[in-house]
């Protein structure tokens, strides 16, 4: 069941980038600003989760508001950058670069959480960054803005990981998702005011679908983590890259290049080495719930 849930989560997470790309280009109407796409993602995800809360009526404990706000701000930033990147570069490239988020999470945990990082973890980080450099192509003239946005998304989601680690075990997953998406709606509403444009009916459907799919991905991910160790579940999350490439090719006709395969393989190798070392150390990595994460 854990494998079924995590595979479903990866398919849904990749689908969110596909929908975001359709909304950020002219496929469903005049391209929407990434901030408007993020607003739709948080709004409809929160509505979906609120319906679940209304039916289940779980008992909530007192929230750690500081951690929730930090997690939401970093998650909102990462998601917005990721959606912008998806509209500008192939989904496979954007997804692969986003896999750097656990590496950034590891690095940021040093000053923020006081964690110690050994040579194996630094080696994993170096390998993953090498793959990112291949995808960003710094020596091939102008660096693609979309690649830099994907890198920014990975950094923001890596910082989000530090807040998730602090929240883990303090509050129930449903409470965390409900508060996170609720705060996200507030932040996204303020941010989108200057960029709002009336969506077409197709775009409204896309925004609603984006939120529902993201909420579903989060639910699948949480259920997968509840049924197996993170060290077992995490490697399956890298299949998001396969789904993203398949969707991009099927819908937009974008085929991955040889450099995409090479860069993605190196990033995944580095991230997998990091996950293995975390598991050996008895501290399985906490994957982000809002992004592909790694979260959803």
The model's pLDDT over 111-141, given as tens digits with 9 standing for 90+, comes to 877 777 778 878 888 888 888 778 776 554 4
Helix H or strand E segment including 77: helix 65-86
> What is the model's pLDDT at position 143?
58
DSSP 219-243: HHHHHHHHHS-HHHHHHHHTTHHHH
Residue 100 and residue 151 in contact, taking contact as beta carbons nearer than 8 Å: yes
> What is the model's pLDDT at position 65?
95
**CA 195 – CA 176 distance, rounded (Å):** 29
> What is the model's pLDDT at position 287?
43
**CA 149 – CA 116 distance, rounded (Å):** 29
> What is the model's pLDDT at position 181?
93
Below-50 pLDDT ranges, the chain = 140-142, 284-296
Q: The tokens of 94 are what?
A: 């954007």
**CA 207 – CA 201 distance, rounded (Å):** 10
> What is the model's pLDDT at position 68?
94
**Which residue's structure tokens are 């990975």?**
154
pLDDT tens-place string over residues 24-44? 999 999 999 999 999 999 999
- Domain residue ranges in the chain: 2-280
Kindly report the CA angle at 174 between 173 and 176, in degrees rounded to 5?
A: 65
- The whole-angstrom distance between residue 120's C-alpha and the CA centroid of its chain comes to 25
């Amino acid at each position: 069941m854990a494998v079924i849930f995590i595979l479903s989560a990866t398919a849904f997470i990749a689908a969110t980038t596909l929908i975001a790309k359709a909304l950020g280009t002219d496929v469903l109407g005049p391209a929407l600003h990434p901030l408007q796409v993020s607003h739709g993602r948080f709004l409809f995800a929160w509505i979906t989760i609120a319906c679940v809360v209304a039916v289940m009526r779980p008992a909530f404990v007192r929230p750690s508001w500081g951690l929730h706000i930090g997690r939401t701000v970093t998650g909102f930033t990462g998601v917005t950058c990721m959606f912008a990147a998806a509209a500008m570069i192939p989904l496979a490239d954007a997804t692969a670069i986003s896999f750097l988020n656990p590496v950034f999470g590891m690095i940021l945990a040093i000053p923020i959480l006081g964690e110690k990082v050994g040579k194996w973890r630094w080696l994993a980080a170096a390998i993953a960054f090498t793959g990112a450099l291949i995808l960003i192509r710094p020596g091939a003239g102008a660096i693609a803005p979309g690649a830099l946005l994907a890198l920014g998304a990975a950094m923001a989601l890596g910082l989000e990981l530090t807040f998730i680690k602090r929240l883990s075990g303090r509050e129930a997953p449903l409470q965390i998702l409900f508060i996170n998406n609720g705060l996200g709606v507030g932040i996204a509403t303020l941010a989108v005011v200057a960029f709002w444009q009336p969506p077409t009916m197709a775009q409204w459907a896309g925004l609603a679908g984006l939120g529902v799919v993201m909420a579903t991905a989060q639910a699948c991910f949480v259920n997968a983590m509840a049924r197996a160790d993170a060290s077992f579940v995490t490697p399956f999350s890298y299949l998001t890259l396969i789904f993203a490439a398949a969707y991009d090719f099927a819908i937009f006709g974008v085929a991955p290049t040889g450099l995409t395969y090479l860069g993605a393989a190196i990033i995944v190798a580095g991230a997998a080495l990091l996950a293995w070392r975390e598991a050996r150390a008895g501290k399985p990595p906490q994957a982000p719930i809002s992004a592909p994460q790694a979260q959803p």
